[in-house]
Amino acid sequence: QDVVNKIAAGEIIVAPVHALKELIENAVDAGSTSLEILVKDGGLKLLQITDNGHGINRDDLPILCERFTTSKLKAFEDLTSIGTYGFRGEALASISHIAHLTVTTKTQESSCAWRAQFSDGTLVPPKPGQSAEPKAVAGRPGTQITVEDLFYNVPTRRRAFRSASEEYAKIVDLVGRYAVHCSNVAFSCKKHGESAAGVSVPSNASTIDRIRIVHTSQVANELLRLEIANERWGFKAEGWVSNANYSIKRTTLLLFINHRAVESSNIKKAVEQTYSNFLPKGGHPFIYISLEIDPQRVDVNVHPTKREVNFLNEDEILEDICNEIRSNLGKVDT
């Protein structure tokens, strides 16, 4: 059973950035307005995320890392209407099978913070002989999740990593995506022991300012607003896309579906095609799109890691979005 859990976890979490994505989403789901991320060795040695969200009740800690522990589905109906992707109560459980996990958390009501350590789905003592029960500690409201020695017990996975800086680059890219998308949330992401941040965005920055900070002011100065909805296909899309005066060597696509960062090669291809009529040869666009779709129409099961998604009426929705981009691009003199 333990081996099965370990293998399952290792299949879903292939790189540190995949664990971090789950942790960021949990922090955002908890209503946080500040996320601080600390990384050591590309996330293999340490991934730490500190939020100021609603925290976890002390009594919920012992089962936190059991599979399917979630506070996010109250009834079975919610299964089809929930706006979250990927794991359902499996993220922390999976992480606890392939890393050392420490959770420190304080709710607004609690008089102190509680710290607990987990391994293989259950509470474990910090040191042999000590109690495994959550320990009262001083702390501010919110949650700090510390993931150490990721894949310590999966040597083949661990050996597959060549460079910490490559993994750190993936982490910075992901944090940058959420930093653009989550307005009113402050983000910082740093390597442990360094003062220069990979990402640093204040909570009050506008979306354009977020793009300016995370990407460049060059792109931020050349953006067109995208806003479109169609009841028939049950979707709403908004975002910012580069105009025909701006082009880069490779497409930058920041895509969110129901507030989760996702990949969609279909959307990427369609948008690139649309831009190819407007940009010089070899030039590519910058696109940030936040798409809201009725969750019942979204299929997250096409890929085991659930980063690539499909949804109903994809062709129609894509056509609407591309038409809108085309008409916006056409309006600007080049």
Name the residues that contact ligand ADP, by CB under 6 A: 22, 26-27, 30, 51, 53-56, 64, 69-72, 87-93, 143
Q: Which amino acid does the sequence have at 280?
A: P
**Which partner, Mg ion, ligand ADP, none, binds residue 24 by CB below 5 to 8 Å per kind?**
none
Q: Are 213 and 200 in contact (CB under 8 A)?
A: yes
**Which partner, Mg ion, ligand ADP, none, binds residue 104 by CB below 5 to 8 Å per kind?**
none
In this structure, what token pair is assigned to residue 217?
């002011």
How far is 48 from 42, CA to CA, in rounded Å?
12
Strands (E), 86-192: 100-106, 113-119, 122-124, 135-137, 142-148, 186-191
Distances (CA, A) of 170 to 58, 164, 200, 242, 276: 33, 10, 16, 23, 27
Closer residue to Mg ion, CB minimum distance, 85 or 240: 85
Nearest Cα neighbor of 233 from 309, 311, 310, 288 is 311
Which span (26-34, 49-57, 302-310, 318-326) binds Mg ion, by CB under 5 A? 26-34
Interaction between residue 26 and Mg ion (CB under 5 A): yes
Interaction between residue 300 and Mg ion (CB under 5 A): no
Closer residue to Mg ion, CB minimum distance, 24 or 321: 24
Rounded to a whole number of angstroms, the minimum distance from the CB of residue 60 to ligand ADP is: 7
Phi/psi at 250 (5° precision): -135, 145
CA neighbours closer than 13 Å in the CB half-sphere of residue 219: 24
Closer residue to ligand ADP, CB minimum distance, 242 or 258: 258
**Which partner, Mg ion, ligand ADP, none, binds residue 208 by CB below 5 to 8 Å per kind?**
none
Closer residue to ligand ADP, CB minimum distance, 137 or 229: 137
Q: Binding Mg ion by CB under 5 A: which of 91, 213, 228, 321?
A: 91
Q: Is the backbone of residue 105 left (phi > 0), alpha (psi -120 to 50) or beta?
A: beta
Closer residue to ligand ADP, CB minimum distance, 97 or 284: 97
Q: Which amino acid does the sequence have at 70?
A: T
Q: Are 104 and 113 in contact (CB under 8 A)?
A: yes
**Which partner, Mg ion, ligand ADP, none, binds residue 182 by CB below 5 to 8 Å per kind?**
none
Closer residue to Mg ion, CB minimum distance, 60 or 209: 60
Which span (56-64, 91-99, 128-136, 246-254) binds Mg ion, by CB under 5 A? 91-99
**Which partner, Mg ion, ligand ADP, none, binds residue 90 by CB below 5 to 8 Å per kind?**
ligand ADP
Give the footprint of Mg ion on this chain (CB under 5 A): 26, 91
